[in-house]
Amino acid sequence: MKKLASTLPNMIISLGSITVIAGALLGWMYSVTKEPIALQAQAQQQAAIAEVAPEFNNNPEEDKWETTIDGNTFVVYPAYDNDKLAGAAVKGVSMNGFAGEIVVMCGFEADGTVKDYRVLQQAETPGLGTKMELWFRDPAGARSVIGKNPDKTSFYVSKDAGGEIDGITAATISSRAFLETMRNAFEAYREYEKTQAAKK
């Protein structure tokens, strides 16, 4: 087959039809994948909530409540066990990380004790700041935040005055940002508790 000559109509028809076909394919692909992608994102969110929050039988995502602390939005996903507040998962953000924002899903018991946490998003230095997912659940020394209550324990790195949590070695900035998220998440949970108490 001979190659089409580069005349204006030829070019317009050729490029036009390629673009139309490509566009149609993409549209089809988008419609096929739209639902799985949305489901995927939701499933991840739900999995994170279920992992960190105490037992619940409500739908935390329906009951979610938002507040703003230090300019960052904190989302409280309350966990109700038979209409009694059992705790909450709080999605917290800090912009003070070493590189980019840190998003943590923090789980609290009813009295504010940290139950568990998941780091959802971070861009810290590999091998240093990225250790935060494991470091702050490590029982060695005063590293772990799990089972501690920010009301009773000072959630600051032990390098800073009054701090009672051991920061990650050589990653103090990441550690501070992580603990800041924890503190603010706790704050958000307390605020939520107050608004609920006021309702009743």
Q: Across the strands, what pairs with 104? A: 92, 119
Would you say 26 or 95 has its CB closer to another protein?
A: 26
> 84 by DSSP, 3-state: which?
strand
CB of 170 to another protein, least distance (A): 4
Positions 88 through 107 that interact with another protein (CB under 8 A)? 98
CA nearest to 124, candidates 94, 158, 154: 94
| Segment near another protein (CB under 8 A); pick from 19-27, 102-110, 138-146, 183-191 | 19-27
Question: 182 near 145, Cβ under 8 Å?
Answer: yes
- Establish if 7 lies at the interface with another protein (CB under 8 A): yes
State yes or no: residue 169 binds another protein (CB under 8 A).
yes
How far is 154 from 164, CA to CA, in rounded Å?
5
Q: In this complex, which beta carbon is closest to another protein, that of residue 98 or of residue 178?
A: 98
Residue type, 165: I
30 scored as a contact of another protein (CB under 8 A): yes
Pick the stretch among 2-10, 51-59, 72-80, 104-112 that binds another protein (CB under 8 A): 2-10
Q: Between residues 121 and 195, which has the closer beta carbon with respect to another protein?
A: 121
Which tokens go with 143? 């590293």
Q: Is residue 5 at the binding interface for another protein, with CB under 8 A as the rule?
A: yes
Residue 11 makes contact with another protein by CB under 8 A: yes
Type of residue found at 123: A
The kind and range of the H/E element at 24 are helix 8-52
Binding to another protein by residue 126, rule CB under 8 A? yes
Distance of CA 91 to the CA centre of its chain: 5
Closer residue to another protein, CB minimum distance, 101 or 109: 101
Closest residue by Cα to residue 105 from 30, 50, 153: 50
Check residue 3 for interaction with another protein (CB under 8 A).
yes
DSSP letter for each residue of 139-179: -STT---TT--TTTS--SBTTSTT--BPPPTT-HHHHHHHH
Q: Which residue ranges make up the site for another protein (CB under 8 A)?
A: 1-7, 10-11, 14-15, 18-19, 22, 25-26, 29-30, 32-33, 36-37, 40, 44, 98, 125-128, 159, 169-173
